[in-house]
Structure formats: C-alpha cells, structure tokens
Amino acid sequence: MSKKLKEVLANAGISMDLQSGGAAPEKMVDREVKREPHPRIKKLKDIFMDTLSSANNEFTYWYTREYMMHDCEIPVVRRAMALKSAFSHSTPAIYPGELLVMHKASYFRGSFPMPWLSEGFYMAHEDEFYKEALKRGSASVDEHSKFGQGGGNVTKSFGKVISIAGKFGMRQEEIPALLKLAKMWYGKSVDDLGNKYEKMVPEYKTKEQIMRSIICMFDSGFTLPQGREIINYYYPLEYGFDGIIKIAKELKDKVAGKADGDGMVGMNRLYNYEAIILVIEGMQKWINNYAKEAHRLEKITQDEKQKEEYKSIAERLEWIEHNPPRTFIEAFQMIETLHIGVLNEDAISGMSPGRIGLVLYPYFEQDIEAGRLTEDEAIELLEQDRIVKTSIDCFASTGVVGGVLSGNTFNTVSVGGLDREGQSAVNRLEYLILEASANNAMPQSTIALLYDEKLPEDFLMLAMEVIKCGTGYPAFMNTVIAQEFLMKQYCKEGMNLEDVRSWAIGGCLETSPSVWELLHLNGKEYWIPGGAGQPTSVGVHFLSMPKVLELVLFNGIDPRTKEKVYEPHNSKLETYEELWKQFKLYWQITCQVLTWTNNIQHDVWRKNNMAILNSLMKPDCLDKGHLINELGYRYNGTFSIESAGTITMVNSLAALKKIVYDDKSETLDTIKDAILDNFGFKDASEVNSFSLADQERKNNDAGKWEKLHFEVLQAPKYGNDDKFADNILLEWEEFFCEDATHYESLYGLNMYPCQISVSTHGAMGSATLATADGRLSGTTFADASMSAFPGTDRNGPYALLNSASIWDHAQSQNSQLNIKIHPTAIRGIEGSKKLLALTRAYMRKGGFHIQYNIVDSKVLAAAQKNPENYRDLMVRVAGFTQYWVEIGKAVQDELIARTEYEGV
C-alpha cells in the first residue's frame, strides 16, 4: 500500500502532530455544556432532524403564469403582479405545536426553483429528470425514509422522489411541470440575458477561461443576486401593511406624471409605488390564507390546548395582516413573515435579521411590564425561531449551494454592539437570545457578537458558555474595526457616527450598513436598528489566490485544463519582486474583467428582477419612490472583490521567497516540475481524502521530490508570529485593500475588499495543483482568510493572533479567523475566562473576527466514519455553523486536520 504523507514525514523524524500546547486525552471527550430546548420545541426539532429538503413548483408556477400574461407591462409592475399572484396562491402549511407559523413553501423545509434567474440547469438535465420522473415509482418510499449521510440533503433519487442538484427532493409528479416552466424562461432569465450582453465585453473570453479554471466560481448576478445584508423590519412594525399601502397611495398621487427635476428616473416613482402596493396586497393575501387555515385546523382539532393555539394563531395573523403589531408574539410573527416573504422574492443567501434583540425589545419590555409575557415564554419563541431559520433552504445550483454555501443560508442575528449614543446596547432580551441559542443549538440563526469594551462582563461570559456547547457561535466581531471600515466606505453616501453604530453582520460576517429608526409603541419611543444597504453578496466573488499564483508560475496556462487563461507574461520571474508584480497584474486583470461582466448581470437583474418587498422595507425607498435598482437605498456602495485561499497563497509565496530567491537552494523550474508531479503523490480525488496528512505517494514514486517536499513544508509559515511569512500577508493586504477600491460597480460607486471563504477553500482546492508551500494537488486551502493551514501553527494561539493582526483589518469589510480547541482546554469557569481573555486579546490587537470549534478531533473522525450517529453534531466552517453531515468531505477533512489546541 502507498505510504501516506504523515508516515513519510514520521520516518524522516518530522511529526505532523496537529495538537498544540499539550496532548489531548486518549479517550474521546464530549463537549462540556449540553442543554435542551422546551418540550414543544424539542418535538418540532425532532421533526426537522428527520426532514428532507423538499421543493415544489407552486410559487414558480403562479409567478410564471402571471408574468407571462403581461408582456407589455412596465417591468417593475409586471414583476409585482407575478409576486402578488405567487404569494396569494401559496398553500399554507401549519404544523401542530408551532407558535410562529408560515413557511417558504408548503413543506417543513421547503423551497422552490426560480427559473427567471437561471433555467439552464434544469434544461441541461431535462432528459435525466424526465426519465426519472416517468420511470420511477416501483420502489417503496418507506425503504428510504431514513437518512444516510447528508442529513436533510436528498443526495440521490429514490422511490417517487427525484434528487435535484444533489440537495433537494422533488416529487416525480412535479418534474414535467418544472421542465415546462424552465423552458418558458429560456432566453429570458437573468442568466441568459446577462450572458447575451456580457459577451459584448471585449475581454469576455478571459472571463470564460477564469470560470473554467475555477479561479472564480460564482456569477453573483443570477445565482444569489441579493443577500449578505440586514433586513429592515421598521416600516411594517411602525405602520403595518395597511399603513404602508396608505403611504404608497398618497405618494403615488403626489408623483403621478411628475419628473420633479429628475429626467432619468423621476417618472418611475409612479410605477414603483404601484408595484409596492401590489406586493403588499400579495403578502396580505398570503397571511390571510394562513389565518384561514389556522381557523380550519381549530375546527377539526380535538385537543383543546392545540385548538386554542390555532385560534390565537389565526387572530394574530388577522391582526398583522392589516395593523402594526401590539405584542411581543405579534411582532415576532410579523418579522418572521417578512423574513420568509423576502426570501421568497429572490434567491438569497445571507438575509440576516440583524439586531432583533433591539428590534423586538419594545414589545418585550412592555409585555413583561404588563405581565403579558414571561421570560420563559420569550425563550421558547426564540428557540422556535431557530427551527424556523434552520429550515430555510435556498434553491440554487449545486455549485453554489454545495460548493460555496454548504447548504447554509446565513440568517445571522447580531447581539451586543453600541446604541445610538455609543453605550452598550445589550439588553435583557439579548441575554435570552443567547440562552435560547444554547438551549436549542441549531445552525441558524448563527449569532454574531458585536464586541466592544463597553459590553457587560456577565454577557460575555454567557457567550463563552454558549460557545462551549460546541455551537460555533457566537462569533466575535470587532465594533471598533467595523465602524472604521463603515465610515471609510459610506461617509461619501452620508453616513454619520450615530448610524455607524447601528451596524450589524449580514450573511456570515459581512459588515453591513444600517440606520436607526424611531418606533412608537403605546406612547413610548424606541430607536431600533435595521439594514439600509444593498446586498453585499454582490460583485466579484471568491477569487482563488493560489490558482492565480499557479497561472503566474505557468505563464498564463492552466496546467490542469491545458488552456490559456491569461496572455502569457513571458517573464522569467528571476526575482521575487518580478513574481509578486506579475501576480498583481494577473489579479487585476481578473478583478477588472469580472467586474464588467458581473455589472452586466446585475444590470439585467435590476431591470427585470428587481427587489420590491425587500426594497420597500429599506430606507429610503418608500420615502423616495425609488427601489434598489434606482439607488433608493440609503447606502449603495456595497459591491466587493472577494478573495479566497489567502493563507495558502501567503505560505506559497513565503516558500518561494525563502527557497528560490533568498537561499537559492532550489530553482523555480525545479519547484514547478515538482508541482506538476504533485511532489510524487497521487491527486486527492484519487485518495478520496482532502487533508494533506492523508495523501498517498504514487505507487511508482522513487522519492525524487522527497527532499524538496520536506524543504517547502519546513519553510516559514503564517500563524507562528514569524515576520518572514507575516510580512508577505501584510504586503498582500496593503495591495489588495487599496486595489479593490479601484473597481466600479454598476451603481457608479467604488468597490472594497471582502475576505471570507465560506466553503470555497474545499472546491477551489480541488481544482488547484500542488502549491509551493507543500500542499498537495486537490487538497483544501487553509480555511477562511486568517485561519492557519492545518498543522502549521505550532507556536500557540497567541502567536497565531499576532500573525493575523499584522495588518489593519479596518481596511477590509471583514476577515476570518477560526481556531479549534479541545473541550478540556477550557473546562469550567476558569476555562471560560481563558477563552474570553484569548478573544479579547485578539480584539485589542485589532483583529476583526474570531470563532472556535470546541471539539475533540476524535469526535469529528468518528462522525465521518459513522455519520448516522452524529446527525446533530455542528461545526464552525469559515463564518458559519453547519451540521457536520451536511457539509462536503473536503471541508470535513480540513476540519479534522486543523490544529487542535490543547491549552489556551
């Protein structure tokens, strides 16, 4: 049998010991803190745990049917009519025990395709789907009702269920309709129209090559056109749906026929208000259908308590269908309805509720004072909210949902932070949000704790307790750094210090602009925060830095595909400076061409598929009469350039600098040959493991590259407080953060740097040859943007923090650092204090984000072997928490291999 890398190195006296700061106990250790939700929530959670991601065509059908009827209508009104019809015809699904109701589709974990964004996937698989749909049916569904690996993912077709994109299950009875609907959007979808026009960009061929080489893996214009932003619940909470219609009607009368000095889009206000009214009417009908269903269930249910609950649900829905909420539970139902409504409007990942502890506080405070609500009841609702959010699926392509998102939809809740006056914003409800997140540990809502020195110590210690549940949340984000970034990016759009303080995390960890609005409740006033910015999921996303470096080394040709991606530079790369200069040139070509092509995709989106519901909720759309597509939002400079594989590239440059250019112990050609030969190892896909240590030597390898491989593995690595490597990171960050601002979005505003990897370090790693740092072909890159490559951070956690904070994080929208810690290292109160001290140290050094996996690596290895025993095991990947069984093997392997700290 072929030798594994860890065996080869062990023979040479080099240990791939991935434990740092001590040795883990031999016996497998569970997490220290374990809690349970309320019994009602436990029952609902049990249903979720045995639920398959399911899709149907209902929303799709009614949207398409209405849209196709109005050929010559004004685009925004046509879209509003389609949305109204789709919401109005969505079948209500209410489950016993629910207090908060309404779902995306008529399943517990339902979703639906949006072929108006992209229909190509269904068309491409037409034959396969048809055959499956018409032939299937003999197998018993019962045989397949238990999950295999993949949790709720429908990875394969079975019985009468067709797997779509390896994730969603659709009944065979729906497949012909899906394909017919997809065909209706051929040539009309954002994908098709965008592609028609992006081909007119003279450099389009380079874009195609970039995508084919997986330097970039995301066309943001039609995959996920919105998201990584904060929703804003203010207007419906303050005015109610009837109130919004009244405002829109009054303003419609005021602007009809008038340009008011704006000859470009002044007239559009009339159509926009008309669209707003139509969409709100659709929402009202949707709510009303749920109310009717609750009344129906009240009549047929025998259980008196359940009967009473259905009655209350119906009454709540009937109230919020028209009016602003009066109580905590009404307000909670209202924001839940709005949230799901917005997610049904578009393919969105990362529509974050934001700081709901402040948004819901007025109702909480008054209900508690009046004796209408107990804290325990509030916690129960917060626990159910976690099921609602975890049940949200986004129906998109395999590459996006699997390769990028790991099935996560990033409905992040933010806690902590500052209030409008600059004092701690923590209130009693935020403590309960943390309590509920520990009681009902589920991936959503992932929690972002906006850290500031002013936050109460007991709140921070409670956060440590939650982290020790192994939830992977709350993540800590640095308020000082975020505020500095926001001022820099949005001051030109009028952002002031007060509004800076209303910020929150959109998506997994995107610093997103927000505003304060004044809410009135029973004669009392409250400033509540809400999103005021465009999506930050947009722009040029996930650029593989190691792959760009590979193209530099191989003169613009991708050795994997043998195709030319960039014009050959023909430089001999004789100095490190030449190498670095060429890397920057290829990087800039990539950013520029993708900016132009993405701008076209987004422009098609804004012309035909603009947000209406999400827009009307965001300041200042309702007031100005302009939606997202006409710069109606308060802040519009949200497009970004997003990097991936930072640390793998930094380590690669460090190895090249040290070995080729400084020590001159090997030539660049030799290293290139070794890379092409994968240092004598098999490709990771052949080994079916994506961690470095498990890679196997080729059967015929005579050890030609052994010495060189040892040498590059021993070269300076990021994460050890070693300036040789860290200064390369510094140089990159200084270049990247400045360079990103030179690209212009379709809204005429400059872009900025974004540094999160989500799951792309797995998918992009699989398309990248070996790298000069000794990483082998097909294995994952280092996680996130500031996490060390597995096993290379050997000087303890504080050294890693020093490496990560060598650059000014306020120059970027974000950065990410994840650390894996063994549960015994932070046991008890003293352990919690140590973890808080570590976190605080990073914040004080100027780090932006840190989060932990509190888990014994042996548990992860066991979970990979026997996933059926670990359905509820959660892990932190990049900026999100996900069920272990729902993430891909490449990322699982990287998590197992990641350095485990035995002491902090």
Partner 1 sequence: MENLLYRDARNYVPIDVTKGIDHLTGQIVMADKEAPNGYEVMPKCKNCKNFKDDGELMGICESSMSNPKFFAYPDMVAVTCEMYSNKL
Tokens for 385, please give them.
């909210």
The binder of partner 1 chosen from 17, 303, 623, 872 (CB under 8 A): 303
How does DSSP assign 834-891, residue by residue?
HHHHHHHHHHHHT--EEEEEE--HHHHHHHHH-GGG-TT-EEEETTEEEEGGGS-HHH
| Residue of 394, 508, 591, 621 marked catalytic | 508
Peptide bond into 474 cis (omega under 30): yes
Q: Judged by CB, which is closer to partner 1: 14, or 139?
A: 139
**Alpha-carbon gap, residue 310 to 101, rounded angstroms:** 10
C-alpha atoms less than 13 angstroms from C-alpha of 97 in its C-beta half-sphere: 17
Q: How far is CA 237 from CA 103, 245, 320, 530, 620, in A?
A: 20, 14, 9, 12, 16
Q: Judged by CB, which is closer to partner 1: 103, or 468?
A: 103
Subset of 148-167 contacting partner 1 (CB under 8 A): 154, 159-161
Length of the chain: 904
Distance between start and end Cα atoms, the chain = 39
The binder of partner 1 chosen from 10, 94, 668, 730 (CB under 8 A): 94
CB atoms inside a 10 Å sphere around CB 773: 27
Q: Is 100 in the site for partner 1 (CB under 8 A)?
A: no
Q: Judged by CB, which is closer to partner 1: 291, or 379?
A: 291
Interface map 17-46 toward partner 1 (x if CB under 8 A): ------------------------------
The binder of partner 1 chosen from 10, 74, 93, 730 (CB under 8 A): 93
Q: Is 541 in the site for partner 1 (CB under 8 A)?
A: no
Q: Judged by CB, which is closer to partner 1: 185, or 473?
A: 185
Cβ(655)–Cβ(712) below 8 Å? yes
Q: Is 54 in the site for partner 1 (CB under 8 A)?
A: yes
CB of 89 to partner 1, least distance (A): 5
When computed from its CA atoms, the radius of gyration of the chain, rounded to whole angstroms, is 27
CB of 106 to partner 1, least distance (A): 6
Who contacts 341 (Cβ-Cβ below 8 Å, separation ≥6)? 87, 283, 286, 613
CB of 174 to partner 1, least distance (A): 6
The binder of partner 1 chosen from 31, 35, 42, 47 (CB under 8 A): 47
CB atoms inside a 10 Å sphere around CB 274: 19
Q: Judged by CB, which is closer to partner 1: 172, or 832?
A: 172
The binder of partner 1 chosen from 2, 301, 424, 555 (CB under 8 A): 301
The binder of partner 1 chosen from 2, 19, 88, 741 (CB under 8 A): 88
Cβ(345)–Cβ(79) below 8 Å? no
Binding residues for partner 1, total number by CB under 8 A: 50
Q: Judged by CB, which is closer to partner 1: 139, or 861?
A: 139
Q: Is 51 in the site for partner 1 (CB under 8 A)?
A: yes
Residue in the block written with tokens 């049917």: 65
CB of 55 to partner 1, least distance (A): 8
Q: Judged by CB, which is closer to partner 1: 134, or 370?
A: 134
CB atoms inside a 10 Å sphere around CB 688: 9
**Alpha-carbon gap, residue 867 to 886, rounded angstroms:** 10
Q: Is 52 in the site for partner 1 (CB under 8 A)?
A: yes
Residue 201 exposed, middle or buried by CB count within 10 Å (0-12, 13-18, 19+): middle
| Residue of 229, 510, 517, 733 marked catalytic | 510
| 510 is known as an active-site residue | yes
CB of 83 to partner 1, least distance (A): 15
CB of 134 to partner 1, least distance (A): 7
CB of 138 to partner 1, least distance (A): 12
3-state secondary structure of 475: strand
Q: Judged by CB, which is closer to partner 1: 143, or 421?
A: 143
3-state secondary structure of 564: strand
CB of 295 to partner 1, least distance (A): 13
**Alpha-carbon gap, residue 62 to 90, rounded angstroms:** 9
The binder of partner 1 chosen from 38, 104, 109, 820 (CB under 8 A): 109
The binder of partner 1 chosen from 76, 77, 133, 381 (CB under 8 A): 133
Q: Is 461 in the site for partner 1 (CB under 8 A)?
A: no
- The 8 Å CB, 24+ separation contacts for 579-582 are 579/552, 579/653, 579/656, 579/661, 580/653, 580/731, 582/552
110-111 and 54-55 strand pairing: parallel
The binder of partner 1 chosen from 173, 453, 662, 669 (CB under 8 A): 173
Q: Judged by CB, which is closer to partner 1: 172, or 689?
A: 172
510-512 and 504-506 strand pairing: antiparallel
3-state secondary structure of 4: strand
Choose one: 54-62, 473-481, 547-555, 731-739; the region binding partner 1 (CB under 8 A): 54-62
752-754 and 640-644 strand pairing: parallel
Q: Is 645 in the site for partner 1 (CB under 8 A)?
A: no
Q: Is 608 in the site for partner 1 (CB under 8 A)?
A: no
Who contacts 367 (Cβ-Cβ below 8 Å, separation ≥6)? 327, 328, 373
How does DSSP assign 584-631, residue by residue?
HHHHHHHHHHHHHHHHHHHHHHHHHS--SHHHHHSTTHHHHT--GGGT
Q: Is 141 in the site for partner 1 (CB under 8 A)?
A: yes
Going 137 to 142 to 146 to 148, the CA torsion angle's sign is negative
| Enclosing H/E stretch for 393 | none
Q: Judged by CB, which is closer to partner 1: 98, or 856?
A: 98
Going 553 to 555 to 557 to 562, the CA torsion angle's sign is negative
CB of 294 to partner 1, least distance (A): 12
CB of 1 to partner 1, least distance (A): 41
Q: Judged by CB, which is closer to partner 1: 82, or 356?
A: 82
Q: Judged by CB, which is closer to partner 1: 177, or 480?
A: 177
**Alpha-carbon gap, residue 637 to 536, rounded angstroms:** 9
CB of 40 to partner 1, least distance (A): 13
What angle do helix axes 361-370 and 428-439 make, rounded to 10 degrees? Answer: 100
Interface map 176-215 toward partner 1 (x if CB under 8 A): xx--x-----------------------------------
Angle at 671 between CA 669 and CA 676, to 5 degrees: 95
Q: Is 657 in the site for partner 1 (CB under 8 A)?
A: no
Choose one: 175-183, 466-474, 616-624, 685-693; the region binding partner 1 (CB under 8 A): 175-183
348-352 and 226-230 strand pairing: parallel
CB of 159 to partner 1, least distance (A): 7
Q: Judged by CB, which is closer to partner 1: 50, or 238?
A: 50
**Alpha-carbon gap, residue 238 to 247, rounded angstroms:** 12
| 469 is known as an active-site residue | no
How does DSSP assign 121-183, residue by residue?
HHHHTHHHHHHHHHH---S-SGGG-S--TTTT---S-BTTEEEETTTEEEEGGGHHHHHHHHH
Q: Is 171 in the site for partner 1 (CB under 8 A)?
A: yes
Q: Is 289 in the site for partner 1 (CB under 8 A)?
A: yes
Subset of 57-86 contacting partner 1 (CB under 8 A): 57-58, 61, 65, 68-69
CB of 394 to partner 1, least distance (A): 17
- Provide the annotated active-site residues: 508, 510
Applying CB under 8 A, the residues found at the interface with partner 1 are: 47, 51-54, 57-58, 61, 65, 68-69, 88-96, 106-110, 133-134, 141-142, 144-145, 154, 159-161, 169-177, 180, 289, 297, 300-301, 303
